[in-house]
Amino acid sequence: MSRRRAAEDLDKWFDYNVYAPKRLLYIGDGEGEVDQTMHELAVKGLTFLDSWSHDPITIYLNSLGGDWYHGMGIYDLIQSLKSHVTIIVLGHACSISSVILQAADDRIMGHHSVMMIHDGSESLYSDCKSVEAWAAQIKPTRERMYQIYLDRIRQTRSRYTLKQVEKLCEHDHIYTAEQAVKIGLADRVLEKTS
């Protein structure tokens, strides 16, 4: 690879969060909030990598959470890819980003990373009828989230129940990398190289 080509590839990594030669994507914009910008960059990057080839894709994730619908858009896309997807958490996988992590074929936590799961919060500012319409979406949204967690937990803990997941999400539950693996919300801790 020429120096010029390598520099162009690195520019894309820094500008668009995608490094095509190694099939890497970074999800974590600014403060790491899942928002329109993060969604747009993730969708563009993942679509590009998966359409280029079906070789494995690695996503580096660092996010404190954010918007449910933008996060679920990323989740749905990861689930639909033909490429094998590994997500490596480097920093935070909190709130909706912990749900995004569950979409991966392989879920890896950095040694010093943390995960936080909870029921989330809603900020509904609108007229009464609109607030009622949005509020009606909260219950099915939470039920979908519980089921996503439960499906992944049951891959290693088959007797885990929906009630147990609901209990975990009643308030902020923060897990170290090792704890996230133990409960079944991640597959392993990132290995140290010698």
Q: What is the mean pLDDT of residues 26-39?
A: 83
Residue 79 inside a domain? The answer is yes
Contact 93, 61 (CB under 8 A): yes
- H/E element, 131: helix 128-135
Work out the average pLDDT over 116-144. 70
Domain assignment of residue 54, given as a range: 3-117+172-189
Position 126 in a domain:
no
Q: What does each C-alpha distance from 19 to 24, 54, 59, 94, 160 come to in angstroms?
A: 5, 15, 10, 24, 38
Q: Residue 79 is part of a domain; what is its CATH number?
A: 3.90.226.10
User: Is 23 inside any structural domain?
Assistant: yes
Residue 147 lies in a domain: no
Residue 122 reports pLDDT greater than 70: no
Q: Which residues contact 173 (CB under 8 A, 6 or more apart)?
A: 116, 117, 118
Query: Has residue 37 been placed in a domain?
Result: yes
Q: Quick check: is 194 in a domain?
A: no
In tens, the pLDDT along 173-192 reads: 999 999 999 999 999 999 88
Q: Report pLDDT for 123.
A: 52
Domain-located, residue 178 = yes
Q: Is the pLDDT of residue 108 over 80?
A: yes
When divided into structural domains, the chain yields a total of: 1
Q: What was the pLDDT predicted at 7?
A: 57
In a domain, 143, yes or no: no
Mean of pLDDT values over 1-14: 64
Give the pLDDT score at 136. Answer: 67
Is the pLDDT confidence value at 93 over 60? yes
d(CA 120, CA 36): 18
Which tops the pLDDT comparison, 151 or 130? 151
